[in-house]
Amino acid sequence: MSQVADGDAAGAVAGTRPRGSHVAALVGSDDDLLACALPYLDEGLRDDDLVVLACAPDTAMLISGALGERAGAVESDARLRLLDTAVPDAVAATWELMRRAKAGGSGRLRIAGQLDFGPEPRNWREGLRYEAAMNLLLAARPVSALCLFDRRALPAEVLADVPGTHPTLLDGGRPRAVASPGFQEPADFVRRLPLPREPVEDAAPDVAIEDSPSLAVLRRELRGVVESRVPDPDQAADLHFAVSEIASNAFRHGSRPVSARVWATADRLVCTISDHGGGFDVPFAGFRPAHGVDLANGGMGLWLARKLWDHVDVLPEQVGCTVRLSTRLR
């Protein structure tokens, strides 16, 4: 299993197929799951890797029971599952674990993970983007991930995209790793993901702001809209802060007219910001700060939006760019 788990993935940086650091295990039973997970985890423990489980509680209990006394050497980190965790925070947690791994033991990090895709297609899209991005995150670094996909629990739409986001597959019924014939370059995969409209977009927006004359005016108008429609003051402040950064991007990097639309229901807020600039095509923008974590350096707009709103989509337009933000209300 070591060639599968720890192979050189430097090709991801150069745009070629990454090799071996990101493996999907397709399982249909508890026995399948253990047949895939235990050899991978055992090898990490033998090699003194930092071994981390990021699994659903029942899966973690199953694996820990099978590991027995060895389970005490395995850590758990739910942030990597995207369970109540935004993608940028899950990415930051992975970097934090990589730094810890580098400081001791073998210097390597080994993760057995199980994303929480949730019941809604908008959550599947976020999870699949994250899986695609992991190929770049893991590239040429001493870290590997075994992603457990349970056929008993996951929707067919998610399972169908597993080969596209993992260069290596492991079938629980036949625990032998094979190259994924359906693997796609991460950016290409994300560009091909469907971007369906939010259901509320089929109705007229609650508020439409057309051709705002300035960023200051647009921010002020958006503040009034958000504060009037978001019951929780802290959430309202966070949402306005992030949408203001997207509006700033539209004025700074796009061109007028810059417009905004807002839809609100009892439990969800949706906002779009559109400009007429040259467009924007950076599939993983916002997964990490563009210029580092110092806010003074800028480059935080999409990163903040992904942290503070549940879903962020950059929508293709014939002219310019539209960013759609959607979140559930507390």
pLDDT digits (tens, 9 = 90+) for 278-294: 777 888 888 987 655 55
| Res 299: pLDDT | 57
What band does 7 get if pLDDT is binned at 50, 70 and 90?
very low
| Res 281: pLDDT | 80
What 8-state DSSP symbol labels residue 8?
Answer: -
What kind of fold does domain 2-192 have according to CATH?
A: Rossmann fold (3.40.50)
Determine the Cα–Cα distance for residues 132 and 153; give it in Å rounded to an integer: 21
More confident residue, 34 or 14: 34
| Res 151: pLDDT | 95
What band does 176 get if pLDDT is binned at 50, 70 and 90?
confident
- What distances in angstroms separate CA 211 from CA 208, 272, 295, 315, 320, one per listed residue? 10, 13, 28, 19, 13
| Res 10: pLDDT | 26
| Res 11: pLDDT | 29
Global pTM?
Answer: 0.86
What band does 27 get if pLDDT is binned at 50, 70 and 90?
very high
Residue with tokens 């992991």: 134
Other Cβ atoms less than 10 A from the Cβ of 268: the count is 15
In the chain, residues under CATH classification 3.30.565.10 are 199-328
In the chain, residues under CATH classification 3.40.50 are 2-192
Max CA separation in the chain (angstroms)? 65
Residue 51 burial by Cβ neighbours in a 10 Å radius (0-12, 13-18, 19+): buried
Asked whether residue 33 carries a pLDDT value surpassing 90, the answer given is yes
Q: What is the pLDDT of the chain when averaged over all its residues? A: 89
What kind of fold does domain 199-328 have according to CATH?
A: Heat Shock Protein 90 (3.30.565)
Determine the Cα–Cα distance for residues 57 and 257; give it in Å rounded to an integer: 49
| Res 3: pLDDT | 30
Percent of the chain with pLDDT over 90: 78
Asked whether residue 88 carries a pLDDT value surpassing 80, the answer given is yes
Asked whether residue 173 carries a pLDDT value surpassing 70, the answer given is no
3-state percent helix, strand, coil for the chain, nearest multiple of 5: 45, 20, 35
| Res 280: pLDDT | 77
Secondary structure of residue 12 in the 3-state scheme: helix
